[in-house]
Structure 1
Amino acid sequence: MANSRPANLGAKARAVWDDITGSFDLRADERRVLEDCCREIDLIERLEAELRGADLVVQGSMGQPVSSPLVTEIRQHRSTLARLFAALKLPEDAGSADQAAQDRSSSARKAAQARWGTGKRRGA
């Protein structure tokens, strides 16, 4: 099945997968990006669980107080997750699957016109 959920996803990642694949007909490359999103969600969940109850400030290599490396990792993975979601180019309204397809088609058309010079030209 094309939209079968990847194995071993956590609860939040499963919910995201089900929500998006239930609302949009994704191509294979988009499903791969969505899977990466879900894996990032799971990783963030694990890092946040480790951080719960841990010190936010730890001792650095020179004995100085520094932010816990988990804080930095969580921030970096959240940034990665945001970039992955942006790469999917889903419309903000989850009910707009038709609009997403139209936007993709329009983007592809503009790219082709730019590449092949078939768009409207000034003075023409």
Structure 2
Amino acid sequence: MSDDENTPPPAPEGLGERGLRLWNDTLEKLELDPDELLLLEEAARLADELDTMGAALDEGDLLSKGSRGQPVANPLIREIRGHRLALSRILRQLGATRPGEDDQERLTPSQRGRKAALARHHGDRALAPVRPMWSRQGDAS
């Protein structure tokens, strides 16, 4: 493998501090395909936009006036929530691990939910693999 193959691609132009940090930290940990690099760029730009919107919200009010003069939540709150959700989804697509997961145990949200439900219901027994009912029919026990 040549040095060019080991060198991470340069960060896209115009990234801010948080986006650049996300770009560099992710490429330190993961080797990404070209389509995944596009997702990472989107994630980095979303992170920067979150910083910009957060700063604007800090300078403004949490409430603004609605169409009839009534107090309503600042529209930036909804935008920030949407950006956080989009960023979370992209990072999940890229295979970012969560606390308690190692690189070999990247679980989907439904797998994490099932694992948590089994742990709540069965305690430590949930850690044992669950065999389907049809595979137990031949057991003599």
Fold in common (TM above 0.5): yes
What's the Cα RMSD here?
A: 2.4
Percentage of matched positions with identical amino acids: 33
**TM alignment of 1:59-74, pairs within 5 A:** 59-74=65-80
Q: 1:28 is matched by which residue type in structure 2?
A: P
Give the match for residue 26 of structure 1: 32
Residue 78 (1) aligns with residue 81 (2): no
Residue by residue, what CA displacement relative to the aligned partner does 1:32-85 show, whole Å, maximum 9, x if unpaired? 111110010011111111111211011100111100011111111111111111
Aligned runs of 1:1-124 on 2, under 5 Å? 3-92=9-98, 99=104
Alpha-carbon offset, residue 4 of structure 1:
1.5
Deviations 1:71-116 (A, max 9, x none): 11111111111111111123337xx66x48xx9xxxxxxxxxxxxx
Distance 1:89 1:27 in 2: 12
Unpaired runs of at least 5, structure 1:
104-121
Gaps of 5+ in 2: 108-133, 136-141
Partner of 2:114: none
Tell me the TM-score normalized by structure 1. 0.71
* Runs of 4 or more consecutive aligned structure 1 residues displaced over 3 Å after TM superposition: none
Count of matched residue positions in the alignment of Structure 1 and Structure 2: 101
Structure scoring higher RCO (CA < 8 A, sep ≥ 6) equals 1
Q: Secondary structure at the match of 1:83?
A: helix
